[in-house]
Amino acid sequence: MAIKRNKITVVGAGFTGATTALMLAQKELGDVVLVDIPQLENPTKGKALDMLEASPVQGFDSNIVGTSDYADTAGSDIVIITAGVARKPGMSRDDLVNTNAGIVKSVCENVKNHCPDAIVIILSNPVDAMTYTAYQTLGFPKSRVIGQSGVLDTARYCTFIAQELNVSVEDVRGFVLGGHGDDMVPLVRYSSVGGIPIDTLIPADRIEAIVQRTRVGGGEIVNLLGNGSAYYAPAASLVQMTEAILKDKKRIIPVIAYLEGEYGYEDLFLGVPALLGGSGIEKVFELELTAEEKAALDKSAESVRNVIKVVSL
């Protein structure tokens, strides 16, 4: 039997989508199909061709095509959804909900028809609610509908810890739970550097400053860019999740998962630590939380629930 390459579709060929497509190809995780709306078909084809023409220089053998035709996505193993508008300074992610819910819904109808067996990863914001919309529209099992927030939020948190201590990012471990909003919950108690708990290395007031900076990390980039939001670290996060699935790595990383009783929440998508492998989300881990941590998670869950109410009306 011939061994086939993985096929990965990235919907939305904007900043995050295009960057993700290039990073996936550079890592040779599979052939990449980049999809955008028909009005942007030529620029999408152009971006894909430009990336492909980098392959002889960088020595990767992934194919990359641009299209607006979902027939080209048929049989994808993974579909990554980045379609939608990004926020500008002064906006919250939740301000995007009405526009992006319509976009995510229409994208998911196509995904359902053309890639019924795919594992779907959602990036579009407000991402917890958009993952809920995707789940409702796709009708796929919960293990195959996954939102991206925790890898990125944790990456920001770990960046700031490494900067604070002037140590390698490779030795920093942490977890950010909850919704992808300003009340997300970086878990200090579960954070360490080279196995050493960070609260023995960093003074409490500096830890608090790192936690606060992490919570508004997306907004910090939005304010600096002026006309859009982060895309390099978000793309890297999507690639890590894709790699964990396609290589069946069984990684334990925070992702947005559908909860049915875990942490006491029902019918909610929220960022929690999960085991990511070849079947998608293979397990959700319930960490023991202090009363203070649980109260912070409850607050974040409530914010997500309020946005989900808007999309499920």
Ligand X SMILES: O=C([O-])CC(=O)C(=O)O
Chain positions contacting ligand NAI, by CB under 6 A: 11-17, 35-37, 40, 82-87, 96, 100, 103, 106-107, 123-125, 127, 148-149, 152, 180, 228-231, 234
Q: Which of residues 16 and 62 has its CB atom nearest to ligand X in the complex?
A: 16
Q: Which of residues 143 and 149 has its CB atom nearest to ligand NAI in the complex?
A: 149
**Is 213 annotated for ligand binding?**
no
Interaction partner, residue 245 (ligand X, ligand NAI, none; CB < 5-8 Å by kind)? none
Tokens read off for 306 = 């309020």
**CA-CA distance, 153 to 217, in Å (whole number)?**
8
Closest distance to ligand X from the beta carbon of 210 (Å): 16
Closest distance to ligand NAI from the beta carbon of 4 (Å): 26
Rounded to a whole number, what is the largest CA-CA distance in the chain? 60
Q: Which of residues 33 and 241 has its CB atom nearest to ligand X in the complex?
A: 241
Residues that bind ligand X (CB under 6 A): 86-87, 93, 125, 152, 180, 218-219, 221-222, 229-230, 234
**Is 87 annotated for ligand binding?**
yes
Residue whose entry in the numeric block shows the structure tokens 């009005």: 39
Interaction partner, residue 11 (ligand X, ligand NAI, none; CB < 5-8 Å by kind)? ligand NAI
Q: Which of residues 184 and 272 has its CB atom nearest to ligand X in the complex?
A: 184
Which residue has its beta carbon closest to ligand NAI? 14
Closest distance to ligand X from the beta carbon of 161 (Å): 18
Q: Which of residues 234 and 273 has its CB atom nearest to ligand X in the complex?
A: 234
Interaction partner, residue 221 (ligand NAI, ligand X, none; CB < 5-8 Å by kind)? ligand X
Which are the catalytic amino acids? 180
Closest distance to ligand X from the beta carbon of 91 (Å): 8
Tokens read off for 47 = 């971006």
Q: Which residues make up each annotated binding site for substrate?
A: 87, 93, 125, 156
Residue positions forming the annotated binding site: 12-17, 36, 87, 93, 100, 123-125, 156
